[in-house]
Structure 1
């Protein structure tokens, strides 16, 4: 039987290691895995999309089934930019965990400060809720099955105070939503640990298989 594959895209300032627990679970469910590292703090989204293309293109050609994407935080925006530019021939489903589809209110507050701009780099400037025309053009409407998992727990008392509730300490639940999504759910997890949360992992695998997070949802 053809084997489906899953591309894992970590968030800004993270690495492929952050997906270790999720990677093992998805692999046990029978999927081939491409867990990509990319220079999240060094380039804007459009350049990162070109950087990851050769590996994804090769992976897509090596699996006999569909190619799905599972993305944390900014990785979900990167997937949207990538799929707008390089639509995978055998595209399956996309799961986003804590992705700021509507932008991050935290980025709005911090991008005026040099330490933020220096640390998070060009892509960090594209994470705000007020997107210029060029950034908005990178993120056209979705026309593929997307499931979104948001968190409602924060371990950041200061940053959390700047966000409308509920939120995961980095992104409000409301701003994870994107028009055209197939399903949406909230788990009691904080932003950095969403991809290690047992309920989120189980729901991700269910969505990859069924296109919904739960039967009847």
Structure 2
């Protein structure tokens, strides 16, 4: 009897958004593990450091995780976590990099950050990285986020639970980021689900689409709206 060779196990690094924790990704993490992937759900000091410092903080754990895999290492990121991933992959790209999914990531910046970043309360709460989330990026921040040259799938939301903040954004938006500003040049696929910014990582359609992209490099339409 000939035994089938064991399929190498892929892994997924999960990076939460600003002012969130790894717990926010728990439902997504469980679904990814049930699909057969190893996971690394990273907690990082999103409100206390700039993007370039966060890259250094998360590197040891990701390097160890990626190096222990027999297969590819993928990234699934929420909100600012996608910018952290972009900055990380520009400087510390694993040799076995697979695919990247971003949910509600302000790749083109957030108009809300443009309006609020000069206010002391915003600066205190969101810290150095919060100053890097606007649409008008300085040369240092722009250099951290070069064009993507790896497979990226982007999921945006078009519902808001923030009536005041949402009024500052062009429609459609998720209450924190406009759909238009989630996109990035070179992305492989883009879709919209009916969810607000904080709930994107718990949305069933977004979770199903994430798993589809990790497997095939494309989203499954389902009940979501494809863009492009």
What's the TM-score bracket when you normalise by the shorter of the two chains? over 0.9
TM-score (norm 1): 0.99
Question: Aligned-pair distance for 1:214?
Answer: 2.0
Q: What is the match of residue 63 of structure 1?
A: 69
Q: How many residues align?
A: 216
| Aligned counterpart in structure 2 of residue 207 of structure 1, from 204, 213, 228 | 213
Tell which structure's C-alpha radius of gyration is larger.
2
| Secondary structure at the counterpart of residue 13 of structure 2 | strand
Q: What does residue range 53-92 of structure 1 map to in structure 2 within 5 Å?
A: 53-92=59-98
- Structure 2 SS opposite 1:131: coil
- In the alignment, what sits opposite 1:126? 132
1:9 aligns with 2:1: no
**3-state SS of paired residue (1:150):** strand
- Separation (CA, whole Å) in 2 of partners of 1:185 and 1:209: 16
Task: Extract unaligned runs of 5+ from structure 2.
Answer: 1-6
**Cα distance per residue 1:83-132 (max 9 Å; x no partner):** 00001110000000000000001101110100000010000000000001
TM-score by length of 2: 0.94
SS in 2 for 1:94: strand
Q: For residue 200 of structure 1, give the secondary structure of its aligned residue in structure 2.
A: helix
Residue 145 of structure 2 is aligned to residue 139 of structure 1: yes
Q: Which runs of 4+ in 1 moved over 6 A?
A: none
Alignment equivalent of 1:198, drawn from 193, 200, 204: 204
Summarize deviations over 1:155-211 as a string: whole Å, max 9, x none: 111011110000000000000000000000000000000000000000000000000
Is 1:174 matched up with 2:180?
yes
